[in-house]
Amino acid sequence: MIRLRNAYRIWAVTAALPAASVCLAGICLAGICLAGTGQSSPSNASNVPPVLQAMQQELQRTVTAYGKADPPAYFVAYTVNDEENVNVSGSNGALLSSGDARNRWLEVQTRIGDYTLDNTHKIEGREPAWTSPGTQATLDDDIPVLSREIWRETDRQYRAAVQAFIAVQTSKEVQAQSAEQRAPDFSHEQPHVSIGPAVSFHVDRKPWEEKVRKYTAAFSASPAVLNSIVTFTAGATNQYFVNSEGSKLAFGQIRYRLELFVQSKAPDGMDLERYANFDWVDPSKAPTEAAVMNQIRILSGQIAALQKAPLVEPFAGPTLLTGRAAAVFFHEVLGHRLEGFRQKDASEGQTFTSKIGQPILPDFITVRDDPTTKEVRGEVLLGYYPFDDEGVPAQNVTLVDHGILKNFLMSRSPLINFPHSNGHGRRQLGFQPIARMGNTIVESDKTMTNAALRRRFIEEIRKQGKPFGLLIDDIAGGFTFTGRAQPQAFQVQPLIVYKVFPDGRPDELVRGVNIVGTPLISITKIIATGDTPEVFNGYCGAESGSVPVSAVAPEILISEMEVSKKESSTDTPPILPPPAHDPLSKEPAQ
């Protein structure tokens, strides 16, 4: 099962639930090829960070020694992530936590065998090799100490790779393989050299401590609110990467986020929640207090209205998804099924593996994944990155062109007809990079204003003779099953849903529904779109851990969408109202 949530630090992953070839000229040392660099930026010893110097020096030693070992390593890569983090969290008018931290994390990848077959080859019933969490590295820019840490981790990873390769060689004699499983295990890629400046920040936590107190106290002004949490986070990450093909990278990113989360309960026990977030990368563009307080008023009003809203019975009919909801819909229904590694894994459903060149969407829809885009309409996109976690530059990839499937998201795990990465190898620290989404962008040639789209929506309700249609206005996230052992289904979890009536009655807020369906049917029922893209920023959990992603889409009208009942708690609301809203608690004690 793959899960997408917009809430920072809220994710769950259980992987079990679910161009011409470039010849790299270089000097081969008993298996490891030190390639000449391709696209490069000028660099000299004076602007190379000490940590990168240590990585490069140790790589040279490793290439010489492990290239002659038995068995030899044909590829080695080192990654160091240097992270600074600030976190301030409050609840119900008080401070919960406030702190900052810095750490460095070292990961070593060694590959035994060759590009065609190596120790990472997936064996049925076992996850691929190199899923080690890595090891903590010193914060000091002490090259001898850093080199020693890299040396120790390299030896550990080499020994693990040797054991994995023995298992791979044994299994290939007794396990049948599909055509895609016979694709090479690793792709040849052009090396890159890019050394950018290190990033850092200074955040004074005290003002944010006061802000989270104030914001959560504002939530408590509503008697409908059971609990509220506001969290401010800031992160600066510098990533350093070298590999035996000649890549040498140093780049950094800074992100800030403010999250508002509020909880309540309906009289029948159903848990209710609302969530909003602000993302920015420039400290001067932090949300104003007025903007945050306005969002708090909106969320508080919605949570109070949801307490009184009626339940919706299972329904299938016309559905209008606002842009944020549509963005998550495409992420869950289409995006995960176009990740390249799923096309070669026999345990996957492989919904679109054989459909390249065939129509899979209406001919007015184009879908791209573009992690090179930093923002849309002034909103920051979390899925931006300059290089992926395998040292390949991020690329804008057209997946579906006017309804026709053209491409897959590719890491360095190639497919028969897709021999190269397109810069989408991503992972959370401690996981093996695989093909993942970055910024999934949906575009349409059949647009109309949102007002016109609503009129078209009402026409469709009348045409089908339905008593109402559903407007999905906001969502919490969703999940999807992609493995053969589970139904090829998805679920998107709406937070704000309205019944829209064809006779002109006001929209009615309802609750207790989930959007459900199967991909091949659902994506063909899109009949029109709006003209204003909206952004969903969140964190997606899958086999390579949790990674930041964005999805961008306009409103979409679907002729038929199915909704099911939402899971509900049987616990009733608290017997007493909150103390501040209990008239009896204000009377003097006897």
Quick one: 503 and 537 in the same domain? yes
**Which class for 584: exposed (0-12), middle (13-18), buried (19 or more C-beta within 10 A)?**
exposed
Please state, in angstroms and rounded to a whole number, the distance separating the CA atoms of residues 250 and 167.
35
Quick one: 249 and 322 in the same domain? no
Quick one: 326 and 255 in the same domain? no
Element containing residue 218 per DSSP (H, E): helix 205-220
Quick one: 252 and 374 in the same domain? no
pLDDT for position 7: 45
Quick one: 293 and 368 in the same domain? no
Is 440 inside a domain boundary? Answer: yes
In sign, the C-alpha dihedral spanning 359, 360, 364, 367 is negative
Is 58 inside a domain boundary? Answer: yes
CA distances from 314 to 330, 360, 486, 494, 521 (A): 22, 27, 22, 14, 18
CA distances from 329 to 475, 512, 590 (A): 10, 18, 58
Is 69 inside a domain boundary? Answer: yes
pLDDT for position 588: 54
User: CB atoms < 10 A from the CB of 17, how many?
Assistant: 15
Domain that holds residue 221: 39-308
pLDDT for position 511: 92
Is 225 inside a domain boundary? Answer: yes
Quick one: 417 and 329 in the same domain? yes
Is 16 inside a domain boundary? Answer: no
Number of domains in the chain: 2
Number of Cα atoms under 13 Å in the Cβ half of residue 370: 16
Domain boundary among 308, 336, 355: 308
Number of Cα atoms under 13 Å in the Cβ half of residue 273: 17
Quick one: 268 and 345 in the same domain? no
pLDDT for position 306: 95
Separate counts of helices (H) and strands (E) for the chain: 7, 27
Please state, in angstroms and rounded to a whole number, the distance separating the CA atoms of residues 6 and 536.
8
pLDDT for position 223: 92
pLDDT for position 211: 98
Is 31 inside a domain boundary? Answer: no
pLDDT for position 494: 87
Domain boundary among 246, 275, 308: 308
Residue 336, amino acid:
H
Quick one: 300 and 337 in the same domain? no
Quick one: 272 and 321 in the same domain? no
Is 0.85 surpassed by the pTM of this model? yes
Quick one: 365 and 231 in the same domain? no
Domain boundary among 259, 290, 308: 308
pLDDT for position 18: 34
Please state, in angstroms and rounded to a whole number, the distance separating the CA atoms of residues 547 and 140.
28
Taking the chain (590 residues) in consecutive chunks of 10 residues, what is each chunk's mean pLDDT? 48 31 30 43 67 97 94 97 97 97 96 94 64 84 96 94 90 62 90 96 96 97 94 98 98 97 92 94 96 97 95 92 92 90 78 91 97 96 98 98 97 95 94 95 96 97 96 79 63 89 96 82 91 94 92 96 78 80 64
Is 30 inside a domain boundary? Answer: no
- The runs of H, that is alpha helices, within 309-447 are 323-333
Is 204 inside a domain boundary? Answer: yes
In sign, the C-alpha dihedral spanning 512, 517, 519, 525 is negative
CATH number for 115: 3.30.2290.10
Quick one: 299 and 322 in the same domain? no
Quick one: 296 and 322 in the same domain? no
